């Protein structure tokens, strides 16, 4: 299972420094993170996702969107949403499907999220 190219909203999120309460993106960052998890603030499934990734040896960047933030809150993407190497992997079910199929670790290595 290969990650599909990013939707336009995700391109903005991958280079974000912060998403302000007015939805404006403030960033001086040029490169994408190897692994990013985008979720609602306090989301329990975000904790499940990050714990799985930590157990595999990855250290994801976690972006929590507050209730008044824009960004993914107005899109059809499920949250938490996982980006691997700047490409959209998908939601929790896609992450677990990739992990069960044995595709997740090679994707994380290719993105530079795992060193071994």
Is residue 48 in some structural domain? yes
- Domain limits at 79? 8-111
pLDDT the model gives residue 39? 87
Is residue 103 in some structural domain? yes
pLDDT one digit per residue (tens) for the chain, 116 residues: 444 444 434 433 443 444 444 433 344 444 468 899 988 888 899 999 999 999 999 999 998 877 666 554 555 667 888 999 888 898 999 999 999 999 999 999 999 999 77
Q: Please give the model's pTM, rounded to 2 decimal places.
A: 0.69
Give the separation between CA 44 and CA 35, rounded to whole angstroms: 19
pLDDT the model gives residue 40? 83
CATH for 90: 3.40.30.10
Is residue 1 in some structural domain? no
The number of distinct structural domains making up the chain is 1
Is residue 3 in some structural domain? no
Burial class (CB in 10 A: 0-12, 13-18, 19+), 72: buried
């Amino acid at each position: 299972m290969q990650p599909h190219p990013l939707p336009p909203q995700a391109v903005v999120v991958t280079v974000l420094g912060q998403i302000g309460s007015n939805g404006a993106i403030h960033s001086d960052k040029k490169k994408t993170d190897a692994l990013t998890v985008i979720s609602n603030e306090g989301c329990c499934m975000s904790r499940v996702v990050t714990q799985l990734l930590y157990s595999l040896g990855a250290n994801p960047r976690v972006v929590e969107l507050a209730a008044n933030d824009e960004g993914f809150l107005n899109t059809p993407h499920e949250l938490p949403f996982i980006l691997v190497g700047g490409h959209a992997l998908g939601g929790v079910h896609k992450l677990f499907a990739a992990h069960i199929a044995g595709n997740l670790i090679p994707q994380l290595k290719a993105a530079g999220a795992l060193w071994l």
